[in-house]
Structure 1
Amino acid sequence: MFDGYDLIVYGATVPALIKYEPWGLTPPEAGVIGSYALVGMLIGALVAGVATDAVGRRKVLLISVTGFSVAMAACAVAPSAELFGLFRLIGGLGLGGVMPTAIALTAEYSAARRRSLNNALMFAGYPVGGILAAVLAIALVPEFGFRIMYWIGAAPLVLVVPLLWRYLPESLSYLVAKGRGEEAARLAGRLGASLPEAGSGASRPVAKSPVTVLFSRRHFVPALMFAITSFFGLLLVYGLNTWLPQIMKSAGYPLSSSLLFLVMMNVGAAVGSILVAPVGDRLGMRPVTAVTFAAAALSIYLLSSPSASWVMYALVAVAGFGAIGTQIMVNAYVAMHFPPEVRATALGWTLGIGRLGAVVGPTFGGILLASDLAMEWNFYAFAIPAAAGALMVFLLPKGTRDASVPTDAAPVGLKA
């Protein structure tokens, strides 16, 4: 939830930042600053994907959450736009490590038949954070300015980190692979889980580094296809979360209504992804992901034609599900496709390379708003990558489950 809040809060505060006279930001400049956090996330995801398999997922998640929380506090006191952008970049390093690590742990401790659903339930915190950012911006920014929103973003330092320290378990497959069998046995006994069986893929130490395995002939092409798909998905997620309020404001809606559109987009993402995820478990991820991408393209295109307010809110909700919800599906797809010993690395690299789209999204939106193009192009420009993502899905592998894990097996990584 705080991962989503700390990213989406920028879009919720962009209108206030542009109006903040001491800094005098233009829309293109605000778009560039919006991309700084995503550049940090790109680097953070790439590093975390390797680090989790080297030092463990628990440590990486603790360090990541602590890092982005401290950076948010620094944003709250930033004296200039330049330092504000630097702190957003630093915060992105921590944010980039959170999601691939959380997805990998969720996949490992989930039964195969519930992996997509459990991932959606975990990931639902992300759009809930977006809802929280938009609602609090409506209530607090007019009275207290934008800085209070970033102080709230530092709350995980006292609300989340102690809970992670106390309760977050390490990956059992990681412990066994590192020869820490006794520790793994104690943890498995405490959690009521099964240890990886002797000779299973999860329990064999990996002779080669996870990065080397990921870029082997077997895994490289799927990893590249997933990364390109994530590029389109993350371009939509961060482009719309950054600029939707300002786009709707330029279309004639007042600021409070524009922020409500951001709320509805994230409501649609949270509700839609939880409802559709079980379908992916039953029918396979490829057709479901293609449909959600197509839903995003169609709804964003229809937003270009003003309609009754309730129709516009409904379309924004579908767009949120089709953008954020689709990326949730893609992440679950990656977790299902790659074996446990390289899963975190695969997630880190595909999300990391895909975050080039996240970097492009905010800058792309800022350039659009500053251009002389008709208002409709603010929507067309995001509908096109959604359609391209739908086409890209058909190049992804068909399989959605680890070959070694039958549908009624114990949680992946715990039993082969």
Structure 2
Amino acid sequence: MTEPGGGGRTGWVAPLCWSAVALEGFDLVVLGVVLPSLLDEPAWGLTPATASLVSTAGLLGVMVGALSAGPLADLLGRRRAMLATVVSFSVLTLLCAVATGPWTFGALRFLAGLGLGGVLPVALAMVNEYGRSGRGGSATTALMTGYHVGAVATSLLGILLIPVWGWRAMFVAGALPALVLVPLLARYLPDSRPQPPPATGAARSRNPVAQLVRDGYLRSSVAFWVASFMGLLLVYGLNTWLPEIMRAAGYGLGAALAQLLVLNIGAIAGLLVAGRVADRTGVRAATPAWFAGGALFLALLAVPLPGAGIYLSVLLAGVFVFSAQVLVYAHVSQHYPDHARASALGAASGIGRLGAISGPLLGGGLLSAGLAYPWGFFAFAAVAALGAVAVLAVPRAVPARAR
């Protein structure tokens, strides 16, 4: 099924893919870190409205990259796809450091997003392919800890670099790790080019994209796309607006920011727990349970709680909400045949990015209407419930002709 290439060693797959995903985590928060400095650039004339357009351009690039990188990885080889994505987004991230205005900057963010969007589906496909049998859940969640580590590292870099070197130094710092990572990927990452299924009267299934909607997989694909949309809506909506919603509930700014930190601490803890649970109970059972847990604790945030109670609720919401989306990826990895795995992951990640765009819009709309508290939490809880329903709609097995 796979052939080693480029001096690849399977033991290097997990750490190298983790490192690549950590660089994508850098992109998760870098715009938020540099945005105050960009708004102060007198020659740019950037406003919150145009800043939102720049953010959306980057997310659209990530969506297009995720949708296209998966099929390319399945057809041309996952090692080549990983190298191409890391090189492209690193070069374009570096170019962001010399952008001369908001429109140039937005265009570069879109182009960098094309490579960034391809990292995750390729990395997920590889760690599931080379991971130990029966450990797909923990392999996926362990990989995604890199995403959050990269995000935290970016926040710390912003504190250290921006006051001394300015916002442009952040994009230089985001590109420099490629000088080490790319040679390691080229030297140690094994080649992986899944073979299409044997020609048992169905040459049509040789196309990995067509596989997502044929041979009994259409219902599964639609269900996974809906679940991924809901999952990423929650991730981006809460990370963007939780502090403001908590301020609308009467908490001070310091407490609201502390609750955002607690939410992301819960996310990391949830990743470690969810993977082990999924390995024991099966990812099919764990994924809707995690969405349901997210719905419960999000709804509980709408209830005023004394003292540490609110922090405990925020922590538990983070444990379930963020891991639910990662378990969707683990479920996708196990559900589709090997020759279409990266395409399936790319489609789930790419279509889910529409949820990443919708989440901040939903939160912002509720805040503008004065409904953020408590109805914002009820709205997010309903989204999590819909995610659980979508996962439950995935068939237990596909028809025998697809297997």
Q: TM-score, normalised by structure 1?
A: 0.79
2:366 equivalent to 1:398: no
What's 1:290 paired with? 288
CA distance in 2: counterparts of 1:20 and 1:364, whole angstroms: 29
The alpha carbon displacement at 1:372 in A equals 4.1
The equivalent of 2:55 in structure 1 is: 34
Counterpart check, 1:47 vs 2:68? yes
- Alpha-carbon deviation of 1:233? 0.6
Opposite residue 301 of structure 2, the aligned amino acid is L
CA distance in 1, matches of 2:314, 2:40: 25
Q: Shift in Å at residue 62 of structure 1?
A: 1.0
Residue 131 of structure 1 contacts residue 266 of structure 1 at CA under 8 Å; is this kept in 2?
no
Spell out the pairing of 1:368-387 with structure 2 (5 A cutoff): 368-387=366-385
CA 142–154 in structure 1, closer or farther in 2 if over 3 Å, else same: same
2:321 to 320, 323, 329: 323
2:79 partner SS = helix
User: What are the ranges of 5 or more consecutive residues in structure 2 without an aligned counterpart?
Assistant: 1-21
Tell me how far 1:74 sits from its aligned partner: 2.8
1:65–1:156: 8 Å Cα contact kept in structure 2?
no
**1:122 maps to which residue?**
143
1:67 aligns with 2:88: yes
| SS of the residue 1:124 aligns to | helix
2:171 and 2:245 map into 1 onto residues whose CA distance is 22
Q: Distance in 2 between matches of 1:82 and 1:93?
A: 17
1:300 counterpart = 2:292: no
CA contact (8 A) 1:44 1:95 kept: yes
Question: AA paired with 1:133?
Answer: T
Structure 1 residues 244 and 150: alpha-carbon distance in aligned structure 2, compared to 1, 3 A threshold = farther
Q: Which residue number in structure 2 is paired with residue 195 of structure 1? A: none
CA distance in 2, matches of 1:260, 1:159: 35
Q: Which residue of 2 aligns with 1:3?
A: 24
CA displacement, residues 69-117 of structure 1 (integer Å, 9 cap, x when unaligned) = 2232233333333332222211211111011101111111123211111
- Asked if the contact 1:31–1:363 (Cα under 8 Å) also holds between the matched residues in 2, the reply is no
1:158 equivalent in structure 2: 179
Q: CA deviation at 1:355?
A: 1.9
CA distance in 1, matches of 2:36, 2:309: 24
Q: Structure 1 stretch 105-114 or stretch 318-327: which is displaced more?
A: 318-327
**Residue of structure 1 in register with 2:356 after alignment:** 358
Residues 1:149 and 1:328: Cα distance change in structure 2 (over 3 Å): same
- Which letter does structure 1 place at the counterpart of 2:388? A
Supply the AA of the counterpart residue of 1:51. L
Q: Distance in 1 between matches of 2:26 and 2:223?
A: 29
For the residue of structure 2 that corresponds to 1:113, the secondary structure is coil
Give aligned-pair identity as a percent: 41
1:334–1:346 contact (8 Å) kept in structure 2: yes
Over 6 Å off, 4+ runs? 204-207
Contact 1:28-1:366 within 8 A present in 2 as well: no
Q: Which residue of 2 aligns with 1:406?
A: none
- Counterpart position of 1:102: 123
Per-residue CA distance 1:240-286 (angstroms, 9 max, x = gap): 3344455556665447x655544433332222112221221221223
Correspondence for 2:268 among 267, 270, 294: 270
CA distances 1:358-401 after superposition (whole Å, capped 9, x unpaired):
2222343444444444544444443331222122222123359x
> Residue 160 of structure 1: CA displacement?
2.0
| Distance change >3 Å, CA 381–CA 13, structure 1 → 2 | farther
Say which is worse superposed, 363-372 or 38-47, in terms of deviation.
363-372
Structure 1 unpaired stretches of 5+: 179-198, 404-415
CA distance in 1, matches of 2:331, 2:311: 29
Q: Aligned to 1:97, what secondary structure does the other structure show? A: helix
Q: For each residue in 1:32-86, what CA deviation from the matched residue of structure 2 results, as whole angstroms up to 9, or x when unmatched?
A: 4322222111111111111011211111111111222223223333333333222
Q: Aligned partners of 1:328, 1:55: CA distance in 2, in Å?
A: 26
Q: Which segment is superposed worse, 109-118 or 69-78?
A: 69-78
Q: Match of 1:112?
A: 133
CA distance in 2: counterparts of 1:95 and 1:372, whole angstroms = 35
C-alpha distance in 2, partners of 1:304/1:39? 32
TM-superposed deviation, 1:23 = 4.9
Aligned to 1:411: none
**Contact 1:11-1:241 within 8 A present in 2 as well:** no
For the aligned residue pairs, the C-alpha RMSD in angstroms reads 3.3
Amino acid of the structure 2 residue aligned with 1:86? A
For 1:287 and 1:99, locate their aligned partners in 2 and report how far apart those are by CA, in whole Å. Answer: 23
For residue 216 of structure 2, give the secondary structure of its aligned residue in structure 1.
helix
| AA of the residue aligned to 2:141 | A
2:78/2:122 contact within 8 Å kept: yes
Query: What is the CA distance between 1:322 and its match in structure 2?
Result: 2.4
Counterparts of residues 150-229 of structure 1 (less than 5 Å): 150-171=171-192, 174=194, 177=195, 208-229=206-227
